[in-house]
Amino acid sequence: MSTQDAYPVDVESIRADFPILERRVGGDVTTPGESEADTEPLVYLDNAATSQTPKQVVETIVEYYYGYNANVHRGIHQLSQEASVAYENSHDRVAEFINAAGREEIIFTKNTTEAMNLVAYAWGLAELGEGDSVVTTQMEHHASLVTWQQICKRTGAELRFIEVDEHGRLDMTHAAELIDDSTKMVSLVHVSNTLGTINPVSEITDLAHDVGAYSFVDGAQAVPTRPVDVQAIDADFYAFSGHKMLGPTGIGVLYGKQAILESMQPYLYGGDMIRKVTYEESTWEDLPWKFEAGTPLIAQGIALHAAIDYLEDIGMEHVQAHEELLAEYAYDQLSAFEDIEIYGPPGDDRGGLVAFNLESVHAHDLSSILNDHAVAIRAGDHCTQPLHDTLGAAASARASFYIYNTRQEVDALIEAVESARQLFA
């Protein structure tokens, strides 16, 4: 059976585009010329934190710096015009990718966290006050939880948390109780970066709209791994990061409905976001530039365009099917160990990650042992400390999968976990 027959994507061809996957790791990394006998092939299973970057995306960055490196929107010369066109086309490409109405609804930020803060400060400080509530969930990433927590402290609004049930899913009855006439914003994660839960974001957005509230969806784990249609979800705001979807670090996206963005004041002030400035007053540029002050993320934005092209050449339905296949396979293999606890929904109903703990072994120790076997996973609270407190776990080990991973790499994970079990027995 060929790789193409075995998987929803052509893994062999995809892996050829990622030179880092050819690395061998281990041994004394400080010793030049370490022999292959002391190393093992890298098994990279930390994709929920950061995905690897294909040659095609890296080449786009190099092409920009070698061919037309210039600032955008400020020069009449050819290089500036070429950079401006490429940068603006990237906004158009992102809008098309998530089915936004147009580039006016696409703001480039440096990551999902900055996108969250942009809305919290530009909208939240102006609109929230005593008697208002913000509703979020117990499974939120700190980018959402901490941001709304601090904004509520400043404004006097109440922060409420939708509970997570014993299966790692949101309690929708509780959600309906919390979202009431006092609610001004409902902010939730699309796919949990710890539980793998795929939340009913459209249903919760409807609950928000029923009481006149806005919705904000954290799509950092969703946009890289599945088709996302922001108009179908009807979210008022939606955010994600490029470095989790084959793009470079330092680029994120905030989608916002145009009418709402136009009603908001800028979050940052400076060059490129203004239309006219006098000593007394300033007026703002059109969307999206109104929210992109200073020299923007030019190379990163152009490279994000290339990353989207790469993913769409594969097909987002195939990307989703592949990572969910591996997640279910990993879930089933780990479930065979009686001394392993897995967090979140069943293996056939989750995103492409599995968080777990080996009994009596701290996740950091487990990760260290796996690293000795060249298996790279994440260990810690995954920026969800309150959720881990709710789960009764100080930390967890998390394996996360993407388009270049294989069943054989999941097998390597399981073998490394078995080695750890034997070591700590």
Residue 173 amino acid letter:
T
Question: Which residues, listed in sequence order, are joined to residue 331 by a DSSP beta bridge?
Answer: none
Q: What is the mean pLDDT of residues 279-308?
A: 97
Residue extents of the structural domains in the chain = 3-53+315-424, 56-313
Q: Is the confidence at residue 1, as pLDDT, over 50?
A: no
Fold annotation for 3-53+315-424? Aspartate Aminotransferase, domain 1 (3.90.1150)
User: Predicted confidence band at 3 (pLDDT cuts at 50, 70, 90)?
Assistant: very low
Q: What proportion of the chain, given as a percentage, has pLDDT over 70? A: 96
Q: What is the pLDDT of residue 424?
A: 85
Left if phi > 0, otherwise alpha if psi is -120 to 50, otherwise beta: which for 334? alpha
Domain 56-313, architecture per CATH: 3-Layer(aba) Sandwich (3.40)
Q: What is the DSSP string of 235-251?
A: -SEEEEEGGGTTS-SS-
Q: Are strands 183-189 and 214-218 parallel, antiparallel or unpaired?
A: parallel
Q: What is the pLDDT of residue 4?
A: 47
Q: What is the pLDDT of residue 411?
A: 98
Q: Is the confidence at residue 204, as pLDDT, over 80?
A: yes
Q: Is the confidence at residue 414, as pLDDT, over 60?
A: yes
Q: What is the pLDDT of residue 34?
A: 53
Q: What is the pLDDT of residue 382?
A: 97
Cis peptide bond prior to 288, omega within 30° of 0:
yes
Q: Which of 233, 273, 276 is nearest to 255 (CA)?
A: 233
Does the active-site annotation cover 152? no
Across all residues in the chain, what is the average pLDDT? 95
Instruction: Please state, in angstroms and rounded to a whole number, the distance separating the CA atoms of residues 164 and 75.
Output: 52
Tokens 């994709």 map to which residue?
47
Instruction: Please state, in angstroms and rounded to a whole number, the distance separating the CA atoms of residues 187 and 253.
Output: 16
Q: What is the mean pLDDT of residues 88-93?
A: 98
Find the angle CA(277)-CA(261)-CA(221) to the nearest 5 degrees.
Answer: 125
Q: What is the mean pLDDT of residues 235-240?
A: 98
Q: Is the confidence at residue 422, as pLDDT, over 70?
A: yes
pLDDT in tens, 328-365: 999 999 999 999 999 999 999 999 999 999 998 999 99
Q: What is the pLDDT of residue 391?
A: 96
Q: What is the pLDDT of residue 312?
A: 98
Tokens 């899913």 map to which residue?
169
Residue 269 CA, chain-centre distance (Å), reads 26
Q: What is the pLDDT of residue 332?
A: 97
Q: Is the confidence at residue 48, as pLDDT, over 70?
A: yes
Q: What is the mean pLDDT of residues 212-226?
A: 98
C-alpha distances in Å from residue 197, one per residue of 26, 109, 173, 175, 324: 33, 26, 17, 16, 12
Question: Which residues, listed in sequence order, are joined to residue 380 by a DSSP beta bridge?
Answer: 396
User: Predicted confidence band at 36 (pLDDT cuts at 50, 70, 90)?
Assistant: low
Q: State the chain's maximal CA–CA distance in angstroms.
A: 72
Instruction: Please state, in angstroms and rounded to a whole number, the distance separating the CA atoms of residues 174 and 128.
Output: 23
Q: Is the confidence at residue 31, as pLDDT, over 90?
A: no
Answer yes or no: pTM beyond 0.85. Answer: yes
Q: What is the pLDDT of residue 5?
A: 56
Question: Out of 383, 385, 386, 394, which one is annotated catalytic?
Answer: 383
| 338 contacts: CB under 8 Å, gap ≥ 6 | none
Q: Is the confidence at residue 307, as pLDDT, over 60?
A: yes
Whether 259 contacts 128, CB under 8 Å: no
pLDDT in tens, 117-135: 999 999 999 999 999 999 9
More confident residue, 1 or 357: 357
Q: What is the DSSP letter of 315?
A: -
User: Predicted confidence band at 425 (pLDDT cuts at 50, 70, 90)?
Assistant: confident
Instruction: Please state, in angstroms and rounded to a whole number, the distance separating the CA atoms of residues 330 and 26.
Output: 24
Q: What is the mean pLDDT of residues 159-169?
A: 97
